[in-house]
Homo-oligomer: A and B are copies of this chain.
Amino acid sequence: VSAAPAASALRIGELARRAGTTPRTIRYYEELGLLPAAAQRAAGSHRLYGEADLERLRELIRLRELLGLSLDELGQVIEAEEARAVLRAEIQAGVEDPARLRELLLAALGHLDLQLRLVHRRQAELAELEADLSGRRTRVLERLAEREPAR
């Protein structure tokens, strides 16, 4: 899908290491269509990746871990990445249709807003958990202080 991985081609092991995951996960994501299958690969030969693939993989992992999405949900959510890739490709290819550009930018905006809503919900839940734990911590400290008056 992406233009050739260029000079800085990574093999699957390096890509996995840099993204903080494993080769098995990368192959699985490719199988599910979350990562593009390096197009010009002969069956049995090595997969090669570029910087764009690394970025996309990192984003996938970050959204999965922090938002707790299933891979199915993840596929729907990362359409923002898709839109961004299309945008870059078309600009690089010299396409200059203003209406088309505006459409892509609006799509990206919508997907970013969706992701931000999910992030904000998580942040609210974590803030609540933090408040509960802190409150309990304070009460434990108070009870310890009571037990140990002016040592």
Contacts and interface: CB of A to CB of B under 8 A. Distances in A.
A116 B102 contact: no
Contacts of A141: 109
A126 B137 contact: no
A147 B102 contact: yes
A54 B129 CA distance: 17
B109 A144 contact: yes
Interface in A10-65: 62-63, 65
- Report copies per complex: 2
Classify chain A: how many residues form its interface, as a range: 35 or more
A79 B131 CA distance: 19
Nearest to A138: B112
A122 interface: yes
Nearest to A135: B112
A89 B62 CA distance: 42
Given A106-B144, A112-B137, A119-B133, 4 more contacts: A62-B129, A66-B125, A113-B137, A120-B130
A120 B134 CA distance: 11
Contacts of A140: 105, 108-109, 112
A94 interface: no
Interface in A49-108: 62-63, 65-66, 68, 98, 101-102, 105-106, 108
Contacts of A134: 116
A124 B144 CA distance: 30
A78 to B, nearest CB: 12
